[in-house]
Amino acid sequence: MVMVFFGYQSPSLPRFKIATEKRDRIQDHLLGFIMGMLSGYFVVGTLWSFSSQAQYPFLSPYIQGVPPELSHITDQVLNLLPPVWLDQPTTVFIFVVVSFIFAIVFFL
């Protein structure tokens, strides 16, 4: 969580802002939005999945008495979170290769 916090704060810090300034184009904002959504999915999804596996140690007083229909929906969503589908080494390898290719294409 500390790395995620400083990863999002570094572009807004004055020292780093000068180094990262570039032309503001709609593509940059759109790509930033998409990458932020993807990053949020991975960070929040991973935290939620690990919290569920640990039986919600800090949240259990707040989630008592959840209706069964919401519990069913929650179980369906938990199956879509990153730790579930990134469980296979082949999937991780493919994801890393695609991410690396995306980074090379974007930064060149």
DSSP per-residue letters across 10-64? GGGSHHHHHHH-----HHHHHHHHHHHHHHHHHHHHHHHHHHHHTT-TTTGGGST
Instruction: State residue 15's pLDDT score.
Output: 53
Q: CA 51 → CA 44, 46, 48, 78, distances in Å?
A: 10, 8, 5, 11
Q: What percent of the chain has pLDDT over 90?
A: 4
Helical packing angle, 68-78 and 26-53, nearest 10°: 120
Q: What is the mean predicted confidence (pLDDT) over 51-63?
A: 81
User: Does the global pTM surpass 0.85?
Assistant: no
Q: Worst-scoring range by mean pLDDT, 19-23, 27-31, 86-90, 103-107?
A: 19-23
Q: How far apart are the first and last CA of the chain?
A: 30
Identify the three-state secondary structure at position 67. Answer: coil
Tens digit of each residue's pLDDT (9 = 90 or more) over 10-25: 555 555 555 555 555 7
